[in-house]
Structure 1
Amino acid sequence: MPAFSPLEWPVFRQLRSGDVFGRGPAVTSAKTRGIEPRTATADRVVQSVCPFCAVGCGQKVYVKDERVVQIEGDPDSPISRGRLCPKGASSEQLVNNPMRQTAIRYRAPYSTQWQDLDRDTAIDMIADRFLEARRRGWQDRDDEGRLLRRTMGVASLGGATLDNEENYLIKKLFTAAGAIQIENQARI
């Protein structure tokens, strides 16, 4: 174990360095001074928008070796001015979580096993079911003959990780399809 000099005690470092209030370099240890932040070693910084709600807080995404290593608030953002809520600050976990599903999984009715599907098969299955539910629940007119042109067989519940543009397009899609039950988790 290296010898530790009393002259290296924080109070003596304060007096020697002129850091009278002990809020600067006089109170940092050698170990702390040797630590380098992840943001300093990033290959590049990408400006982004937090995906969690409709506020649109600006983010700085730090990337190293094509992997997100840190996400911080963007001080240039007129909306958040460099701040992020706890959900926004944890959004790095959206892409780096080892439990993140990256394959399309399907479990048939009454099955106990999941199977992987390719994207085109999954999209076709969803489209077929959507159109069939829309057709079965379609109401063209009410009992008094008034025009309705709606479906009661389709509803939408959006998630808070979608941004404004995605929610806008989803709202337009479901409205055009005749759905009237359109809601979003961020508003509930």
Structure 2
Amino acid sequence: MNIDLSRRSFLKLAGAGAAATTIGAMGFGAAEAATAAHVRAFKLASTTETRNVCTYCSVACGILMYSKGDLSAGEKAELIHIEGDADHPTNRGTLCPKGAALKDFVKSETRATKPRHRAPGADTWQDISWEEAFDKIARAIKDDRDKNFIEKNAAGVTVNRWTTMGFLAASGGTNETGWLTYKTVRSMGVVGFDNQARV
């Protein structure tokens, strides 16, 4: 197939094609206008990024938390987004389902923010102060230890054991916190002691 096309006609045709393509790419069509009308601003553009570590389990993945509100101006920061930290060597930007749901955990309406107590036989919970909660816990621990502490075994050897209480430590603490927790628990004679990292 031979087309008789002069150089002038070819340049006119090429110019018209380039102009039509450019106009279409500039978004003058109805579809492009409708799409542009629904484009929203990037939600992380005006946020503060904070690096942290997820303490949900012992893996300790790196997370990036994004919040709005200027703390230096006395504003309360509001957490709006959490994602994996791509620069963290443990998870390299990925998060498990628990880590991905951290924002929902922080902003949950049912999240416990103060101590509550349900009396024996009651069917409702009552808000109590932190002081009252600590007093109740300390009293229960002391009563149980006084009742069940084993100072010497059957052979008369000093063992200092408390076998009726166990302690489960968290995995998100520092080495110093772990050392202090271990010393505290062992000094009370607690035998059943484990860590979330091992369980």
Please, what TM-score do these two structures have when normalized by structure 2?
0.70
| Selected match of 1:97 from 102, 108, 114 | 108
2:122 partner amino acid: S
- The percent of aligned pairs where both chains have the same amino acid is 30
Unaligned 5+ runs, structure 1:
1-12, 18-28
Higher deviation after alignment, 146-155 or 75-84: 75-84
Amino acid at match of 1:145: G
Quick check: 1:135–1:151 contact (8 Å CA) kept in 2?
no
Corresponding residue for 2:167? 156
- Residue identity in the other structure for 1:165: T
Q: 1:52 aligns with which of 52, 56, 63?
A: 56
Task: Answer yes or no: is 1:38 the counterpart of 2:43.
Answer: yes
Q: Deviations over 1:41-81 (max 9, x none)?
A: 42x11111001111221111001131111111112212222
Measured after TM superposition, the shift of residue 185 of structure 1 is 4.7
For the structure 1 residues 62 and 181, does the alpha-carbon distance in structure 2 shift closer, same or farther, using more than 3 Å as the test? same
> How far has the Cα of 1:158 moved from its partner?
4.4
Query: Which ranges in structure 2 are unaligned for 5 or more consecutive residues?
Result: 1-20, 26-33, 70-76
What is the TM-score normalised by the length of structure 1?
Answer: 0.74
Which residue of structure 2 aligns with residue 165 of structure 1?
174
Coordinate RMSD, CA, aligned: 2.8
| 1:121 corresponding residue in structure 2 | 132
What residue is the counterpart of 2:88 in the other structure? 77
| Equivalent in the alignment of 1:134 | 145
Give the Cα separation in 1 of the matches to 2:43 and 2:198.
35
Q: Give the drift of 1:142.
A: 0.8
Letter in 2 for 1:34: V
Q: Is the 8 A contact 1:158 1:185 kept in 2?
A: yes
Q: Whole-Å Cα distance in 2 between the matches of residues 32 and 99 of structure 1? A: 37
- Distance in 2 separating the partners of 1:130 and 1:124: 10
Deviation at 1:95, TM superposition (A): 1.0
Q: Secondary structure at the match of 1:135?
A: helix
Compute the displacement of 1:92 (Å): 1.2
State the secondary structure of the residue aligned to 1:101: coil
Q: Which amino acid aligns with 1:40?
A: A
Distance 2:38 2:62 in 1: 29
Question: 2-side partners of 1:88 and 1:140: how far apart?
Answer: 44
SS of aligned partner of 1:63: strand
Cα distance in 1 for partners of 2:42, 2:145 equals 53
SS of the equivalent of 2:174 reads helix
